[in-house]
């Protein structure tokens, strides 16, 4: 049995003793002996938690506390607890992968990233529902130099406080759309469950970062992400045959010499003064726009006809 596991068991035993003590104290609220015993148990709990962090640090592991605060109920459901923690684990892994490897459009967690970012259970603590995890984190010679995990956590805490679509677009361009989609899932779960989340990141006894995200902040994140997308446009010129052009809905159908048929919209490229013939050949200038939703995997591609010139 490792030293960390021994401390975990001692913490759990002490927590059980505290619960039993509180039960007895309710029946004997004026007992000085019970009051002193309670103080002693709480001091032991604090000592063991400090020792847990110190041993974790010596083993090259950081400690994370994750507290779930339900707003409209005394305790969250088991489904909520597992879903919110699981979504946060996924978010950490996706951001870490974007930093270690490269930003991605769609979520894919390589085996090495999963191994390096997996949260290991430490213990629970009082105060709504609180869970402590450990996670491996490399120790660098200069503390001011961030490890990949350091950078990941800093970015996640910053993203959780994003105020606008502009903020999220910046994160997406630096860390990939997959990170925003994972952030969306985490925000959506907590917003729908109406819970707040308090995060604490510790190394030894030092609090490196902490934040408290309220339901209204999760709601704002969810709503911003749902209306934000990544857009990329390219203009290409191609030869081919015009198969159709409808002036009222302003839609066209073009068959390039190479590639699949293209259907899209137009504005001034086709009008009463410039009405091309159907089944005739043209040099078409077409703008292709690709939009990828930040909230889903949905990708939308549209085409806009900018000009047509007859092929001699």
Give the three-state DSSP class for 167. Answer: helix
Q: What is the mean pLDDT of residues 81-101?
A: 95
> Nearest-CA neighbor of 193 among 179, 214, 164?
214
For the ranges 30-34, 79-83, 127-131, 195-199, the lowest mean pLDDT is seen at 127-131
- d(C-alpha 179, C-alpha 312), whole Å: 50
pLDDT confidence band for 128 (50 / 70 / 90):
low
Average pLDDT over residues 150-161: 91
pLDDT level of residue 1 (50, 70, 90 thresholds): low
Residues near 161 by beta carbon (within 8 Å), at least 6 away in sequence? 211, 213, 217
pLDDT at residue 144, as a whole number = 52
How confident is the model at residue 19, as a pLDDT? 84
pLDDT of residue 145: 54
Nearest C-alpha neighbor of 184 from the set 228, 131, 214, 130 = 228
Digit-coded pLDDT (tens) for 269-283: 988 777 888 999 999
Residue 251's pLDDT band, with cuts at 50, 70 and 90, is very high
Q: How confident is the model at residue 34, as a pLDDT?
A: 84
pTM of the model: 0.81
The residue with greater pLDDT, 113 or 139, is 113
Answer left, alpha or beta for residue 264, where phi above 0 means left and psi between -120 and 50 means alpha. Answer: beta
Find the mean pLDDT for residues 90-114.
92
* Mean local confidence (pLDDT), 33-50: 89
DSSP code for 249:
T
State pLDDT tens for residues 212-244. 999 999 999 999 999 888 889 999 999 999 999
In the chain, the percentage of residues whose pLDDT exceeds 90 is 58
Give the residue-averaged pLDDT of 52-61: 90
Q: State how far the Cα of 92 lies from the Cα of 185, in Å rounded to an integer.
A: 12
Q: Whole-number mean pLDDT of the chain? A: 90
pLDDT band at 146 (very low <50, low <70, confident <90, very high): confident
* Cα-based angle 94, 190, 89 (whole degrees, multiple of 5): 25
């Amino acid at each position: 049995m490792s030293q960390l596991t021994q401390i975990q068991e001692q913490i759990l035993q002490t927590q059980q003793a505290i619960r039993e003590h509180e039960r007895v104290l309710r029946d004997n609220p004026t007992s000085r002996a019970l009051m002193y015993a309670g103080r002693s148990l709480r001091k032991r709990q604090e000592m063991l938690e400090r020792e847990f962090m110190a041993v974790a640090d010596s083993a090259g592991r950081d400690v994370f506390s994750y507290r779930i605060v339900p707003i409209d109920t005394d305790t969250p459901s088991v489904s909520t607890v597992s879903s919110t923690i699981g979504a946060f684990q996924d978010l950490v892994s996706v951001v870490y992968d974007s930093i270690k490897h490269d930003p991605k459009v769609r979520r894919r967690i390589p085996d090495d990233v999963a191994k390096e970012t997996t949260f290991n259970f430490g213990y629970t603590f009082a105060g709504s529902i609180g869970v402590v995890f450990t996670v491996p984190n490399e120790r660098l010679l200069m503390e001011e130099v961030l490890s990949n995990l350091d950078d990941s956590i800093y970015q996640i805490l910053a993203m959780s406080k994003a105020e606008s679509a502009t903020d999220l677009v910046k994160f997406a361009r630096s860390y990939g759309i997959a990170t925003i989609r994972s952030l969306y899932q985490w925000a959506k779960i907590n917003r729908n469950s109406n819970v707040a989340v308090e995060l604490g990141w510790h190394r030894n006894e030092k609090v490196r970062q902490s934040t408290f995200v309220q339901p209204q902040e999760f709601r704002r994140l969810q709503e911003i992400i749902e209306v934000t997308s990544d857009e990329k446009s390219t203009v290409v010129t191609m030869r081919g045959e015009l198969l159709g052009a409808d002036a009222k809905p302003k839609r066209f159908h073009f068959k390039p010499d190479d590639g699949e048929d293209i259907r899209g919209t137009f504005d001034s490229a086709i009008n009463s003064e410039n009405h091309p013939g159907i089944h005739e050949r043209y040099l078409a200038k077409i703008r292709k726009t690709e939009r990828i939703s930040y909230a889903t995997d949905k990708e939308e591609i549209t085409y806009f006809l900018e000009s047509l010139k007859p092929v001699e």
